[in-house]
Amino acid sequence: MKAEKKIEVQAQVVKALPGGRFLVKVGKHHVTAHIAGRIRKFFIQVMPGDFVRLEVSPYDSTKGRITYRFYDEAEAKKERMEGRKSEK
């Protein structure tokens, strides 16, 4: 069975939860997300207030996985604008 495509969105970390999980704000909604293995492997620190790329399951939109941490807000805005250009 083929795996379904994940929905990728940009979000902001609101709160760190136990066990490597985070409460992440996507628009007006909150999602519980865990960090991907590659982020854990390279000891990338994710803190409240950081902008991240999030994969959300099409089946359950309340859970996700953090796949990338943006280093500053300007980088996050740049990628968001590039994403809008490619949609057109």
- Domain extents in the chain: 7-87
What totals of helices (H) and strands (E) does the chain contain, helices first?
2, 5
At residue 1 the predicted structure's pLDDT band, cuts being 50, 70 and 90, is low
Q: Which CATH number fits domain 7-87: 2.60.420.10, 2.40.50.140, 2.40.30.10, 1.10.10.10?
A: 2.40.50.140
Please state the pTM of the whole predicted model.
0.82
Most confident of 3-7, 57-61, 74-78: 57-61
Q: Where are the beta strands (DSSP E) in the chain?
A: 7-17, 21-26, 29-35, 51-56, 63-69
pLDDT (tens digit per residue) in 18-57: 999 999 999 999 999 999 999 999 999 999 999 999 999 8
